[in-house]
Structure 1
Amino acid sequence: MTPPVGINAGHFFRGVPAGFADTVRRIEDLGFDGLWFAEAYGSDVFTPLAYAAALTSRIRLGTAVAQIPARTPAATATTATTLDHLSGGRVVLGLGASGPQVSEGWHGVAYPRPLARTREYVDVVRQVLAREQPLDHDGEFHQLPLRGGTGLGKPLRSSLHVLRPDLPIQLGAEGPRNIALAAEIADGWHAMFFSPAFDDFYRTALEEGFARRGGRPEHFEVVCTLPVVVDTDIERAADRIRPDLALYMGGMGARGANFHHDVFVRMGHAETAARVQDLYLRGEKAAAAAAVPTSLVEEIALIGPVGKIREDLARWSGTVVDSLAVQGLPEDLEIVAKALL
């Protein structure tokens, strides 16, 4: 059975795409399951979702992902719950630790020990959502009320009555420890660069987290952001994805601290990943993109004619993936819908 399929619009570059409102309406009208947004160091993740909430009535509205260093956990929780009210309970809160370049360079937040930070952050968010008692948290990274300061801080409870105390929280994760953390403390895992061939690897990481939790929660969801290009020419389709893969594999983070690069190394593409990174960091972006083999593109994406895409989609069936999110805002939404829905 084909899993539910949404759209992961990513984040805006330069400006808002022309006809964006019409595109959002078409995404819902065509039957897509949800609309997800991301953020890096430009457009934020919540404002486009609020805009989309006003234009739609059915689709889920997800952050994929909201950056943990960008906001205090209480601010994230109150933003998500406000949007949940405005959208009629359609929000999925995806969280991610980002990376050291953005966390420290853009937000001025120290990056070390991201898993411990994430664990504590989720705990505070859940306390705000539960609204069972005033917020009181004495952690390593967050002290609420703050220790020191004026001494006038006091435990507070959200003045907004939360629409859904069990508003789903997902973690964006790539490494095995982070995937296991999602299984242990969250309601889902949002994956990218997911290869069906390595399903056993992902399944093992998830099971490790579920074991620490005492079992898999009934509504745990694995969402996979998936590049899709419909084109009768497979190489031409791959060419539309290669530059993004080169960016993530070679240009994100720094040499030795690029978590996306590490994904492809674990998948057995260490030599390709090293070559792409070398070229990209030398400024040879076109050569870096050209160095990404079509076979690697096909491992983590759906490309080619409609019939081939439908056949290849079957590889995701039977994996840990529960739903898909097409990467980007395809101009040919109707054709993508025909291929996947």
Structure 2
Amino acid sequence: MTGRWGLTVPLEGLSLPEHRELVTQLPDLGYTDLWSAEANGADAFTPLVLASQWAPELRLGTAIAPVYTRGPGLLAMSAASAADCAPGRFVLGVGTSSQVIVENWNAAEFTEPYARTRDTVRFLRTALAGEKVTAEYPTFTVRGFRLGRPPETPPPVMVAALRPGMLRMAGRESDGAITNWLAASDVPAVRGELGADAELVARIFVCPVDDADEARALARRHICAYLTVPVYRAFHDWLGRGERLAPMQEAWAAGDRKRAVELVPDDVVDELVVHGSPDACREGVRAYAEAGVTTPVLMPLTTGGDPAGLVRALAPE
């Protein structure tokens, strides 16, 4: 049994206010954490601020707030406000996001992602401590910024990391790493680069469906959407899946999306997505913890139905 059991919010099919009834139940169900996601739906902070008032027992974290889509000062302000709502229970997770989200959707330049993330972490540590920041970082300059409402308890800062360089930087500069789309068998390689003592948060895709073909069909679409993105493609090249994923990626690049989905191998789906009965899913999630994940964070994949019911079914026993 892992000591932590997290959930990704918001859930598909529920408005933000509709999460209240479920969130209030999560501590009694055994959940310890809520971690947000940010792409083109809810922002990373609002769901957590709401949850901070509904379930004061839960730890809350952004996974992740991109370092490009908010200026350094605004990112510090957002984190300070969340930390004010959940003193000692908020974790600021930051990362690069992706070129599509940063450039195509937010009109920002996706340049020097390693350095920009490192510099943002350094700025945030100083700013969230309530200090005045005047500094020329390699990727941006801040002059005379000081939080008007610094958090009484500065939140931990974690870094979204996939490959060795970013993982090592996360272990060196921050309080840990947040990762995504990996198998339990991949955790030792990730942990080896991060270091033994840093926290490792992993979002784990879970499909509580007994029919393996149905689960795989759903999972393939998500795998195509993510593992064709350059950073995830490079991640899985490093993890050793490049050859098995190449036909899918080539079809995707050629514009044949339907064929790309069909070309995701069954064994890759089974490695990257936990599926089966709720009991089987719980065991699959625990395998990540046994391999070295500090905080497993469930991301339910569903074909509809009652999302709250799935969350209850996936609670630790």
TM-score by length of 2: 0.88
Partner AA of 1:224 in structure 2: A
Does residue 202 in structure 1 map to residue 202 in structure 2?
A: no
Partner AA of 2:205 in structure 1: P
Does residue 143 in structure 1 map to residue 141 in structure 2?
A: yes
Query: Equivalences for 1:140-179 in 2 at 5 Å?
Result: 140-145=138-143, 155-165=144-154, 167-179=155-167
Partner AA of 2:271 in structure 1: E
Measure, in 1, the Cα distance between the counterparts of 2:274 and 2:16.
Answer: 24
Map of 1:232 onto structure 2: 210
Residues 9 and 329 in structure 1, CA contact (< 8 A), matched pair in contact too:
no
Secondary structure of 1:231's partner? coil
Measure, in 1, the Cα distance between the counterparts of 2:61 and 2:4.
Answer: 14
Does residue 184 in structure 1 map to residue 172 in structure 2?
A: yes
Does residue 301 in structure 1 map to residue 273 in structure 2?
A: yes
Map of 2:100 onto structure 1: 101
Map of 2:2 onto structure 1: 2
Over the residues paired in the alignment, what is the CA RMSD in angstroms? 2.5
Measure, in 2, the Cα distance between the counterparts of 1:238 and 1:248.
Answer: 15
Measure, in 2, the Cα distance between the counterparts of 1:263 and 1:63.
Answer: 21
Shift of residue 42, structure 1, vs aligned partner: 4.3
Does residue 321 in structure 1 map to residue 293 in structure 2?
A: yes
Residues 73 and 122 in structure 1, CA contact (< 8 A), matched pair in contact too:
no
Does residue 291 in structure 1 map to residue 290 in structure 2?
A: no
* Structure 1 residues 54 and 329: CA distance shift in structure 2, 3 A: farther
Secondary structure of 2:20's partner? helix
Residues 272 and 291 in structure 1, CA contact (< 8 A), matched pair in contact too:
no
Residues 10 and 327 in structure 1, CA contact (< 8 A), matched pair in contact too:
no
Which ranges in structure 1 are unaligned for 5 or more consecutive residues? 146-154, 211-215, 253-257
Secondary structure of 1:321's partner? coil
Map of 2:235 onto structure 1: 263
Give the share of equivalent positions with the same residue, in percent: 26
Measure, in 2, the Cα distance between the counterparts of 1:112 and 1:302.
Answer: 34
Secondary structure of 1:324's partner? strand
* Structure 1 residues 309 and 139: CA distance shift in structure 2, 3 A: closer
Map of 1:255 onto structure 2: none
Measure, in 2, the Cα distance between the counterparts of 1:19 and 1:264.
Answer: 36
Shift of residue 126, structure 1, vs aligned partner: 0.8
* Structure 1 residues 26 and 295: CA distance shift in structure 2, 3 A: farther
When structure 1 is superposed on structure 2, of 312-321 and 223-232 the one drifting more is: 312-321
Deviation readout 1:24-43 (Å, 9 max, x if unpaired): 33434422111111112443
Residues 9 and 328 in structure 1, CA contact (< 8 A), matched pair in contact too:
no
- Corresponding pairs, count: 311
Map of 2:37 onto structure 1: 38
Secondary structure of 2:220's partner? helix
Map of 1:65 onto structure 2: 64
Does residue 122 in structure 1 map to residue 121 in structure 2?
A: yes
When structure 1 is superposed on structure 2, of 285-294 and 16-25 the one drifting more is: 16-25
Measure, in 2, the Cα distance between the counterparts of 1:266 and 1:161.
Answer: 40
Residues 275 and 288 in structure 1, CA contact (< 8 A), matched pair in contact too:
yes
Does residue 242 in structure 1 map to residue 220 in structure 2?
A: yes
TM-score by length of 1: 0.82
Shift of residue 282, structure 1, vs aligned partner: 4.1
Shift of residue 175, structure 1, vs aligned partner: 1.4
Secondary structure of 2:246's partner? helix
Measure, in 1, the Cα distance between the counterparts of 2:277 and 2:65.
Answer: 34
Measure, in 2, the Cα distance between the counterparts of 1:156 and 1:172.
Answer: 25
